[in-house]
A = this chain, B = another copy of it.
Amino acid sequence: MIESKRQKLDEEERKITVIAHPNIALIKYWGKASEAEMIPLNDSISLAVNYFHAKTTLIARKVEKGEEIGDTVSINGKDVGLNSRFHRVFKSVRDKLDCQWSFTVSSSTNFPVAAGLASSAAGFAAIAFALGKTFDLPEHDIVRLARYGSGSASRSVLSGLVQWKKGNDKTESHVVSHFSADHWPELRLVIIVVKDEEKALSSKEGMERTAKTSELLQDRIRRNQERINLIISAFSSHDFPSLAELIMRDSNEMHAVCLDSYPPIQYLNATSWSIINFVHSFNKESVRAAYTFDAGPNACIFTLKEHVNELYDRVTSTFSKGKEVKDVYISELGQGPQIDN
């Protein structure tokens, strides 16, 4: 094994293309215990959005001693400045290798980036997975690299129902998949991209403010393990009504601690609230849908295959495209990253 790794490391240039999906948390990650190590304050648990993906090509080139390392990243054809997250990921992988490498990353997505649709989760999961496959890194390192890019990206490294266990330091913080995607293949997601003119606070800044100022956050953290266990149990027994209520309550609670921050943080806008009320009315007879909102106004609505067409039709007839809503997508759930041949 060591022989073959050495051999690989001797190659001058390596190229790989991978596909990774964003994920939607059923129990949200909100607040960090450590920014440097990207350790969260609570466990989170998610499912991948199969329909959306980042397709990422990584070219790794060996760098001679004294030669400058020139990493580059482009997203959808546009060069992006390398912020500290990219530096942290690339530095971390270089620290593990015997000699210096530079990285060229070009990524394209089939969904809008910077629209609050977890594009950075898909993007960093793809980069971490590509680096891992290129240098034969163990899963634990791939997950850590993804996390260094974006906390929630670590959940996109696995498939199925994925829990990010916070752990107490960088070696403990890890992800685990409780069920593969085919445990509950009927699950579907209807994603509503909300038209939004307001500039939202970034997740990073929002989390920092909440962690520093919200007193209710402590109560949320105390309940975290119980909620995670309830999600796993509802998922295990295909109990959609229980799963749905847990998902909606967690989303509400996350936005409640945002509102309890000082100054208060608002991610839900009037359309988000209309969607919340719409889902509760859709559920009037029986619970068939569950909304969840990340750090923005867009809604992800979980449902089952048998209800997805009715839900989609009622969403698109209730919310006029172009006015309140930009786009509505349907997706299956749960796939992990793959190498694209």
| Interface residues, chain A, with chain B CB atoms under 8 Å away | 215-216, 218-220, 223, 245, 248-249, 252-253, 255-257, 259-264, 266, 269-270, 273, 276-277, 280
Contacts and interface: CB of A to CB of B under 8 A. Distances in A.
B245 A252 contact: no
A150 to B, nearest CB: 26
13 contacts: A215-B223, A216-B219, A216-B253, A216-B256, A218-B219, A249-B260, A249-B262, A252-B260, A252-B261, A252-B264, A256-B257, A256-B260, A266-B273
The DSSP consensus for interface residues of chain A is helix
Contacts of A252: 259-262, 264
Contacts of A253: 215-216, 260
Given A257-B256, A270-B269, A270-B270, A248 B219 contact: no
Contact of A259 (B255, B262, B277, B280): B255
Nearest to A258: B256
Nearest to A219: B219
B270 A248 contact: no
Contact of A262 (B218, B248, B255, B257): B248
Given A252-B261, A259-B259, 10 more contacts: A215-B223, A216-B257, A218-B219, A219-B219, A248-B262, A249-B262, A252-B260, A255-B259, A263-B276, A269-B270
Nearest to A263: B280
A93 to B, nearest CB: 41
A188 to B, nearest CB: 22
Across the A-B interface, give the 4 residue pairs with the lowest CB-CB distance, nearest first: A219-B219, A256-B260, A256-B256, A256-B259
Contacts of A256: 216, 256-257, 259-260
A287 to B, nearest CB: 11
Contacts of A223: 215
Contacts of A266: 273
Contacts of A219: 215-216, 218-219
Nearest to A214: B256
A206 to B, nearest CB: 14
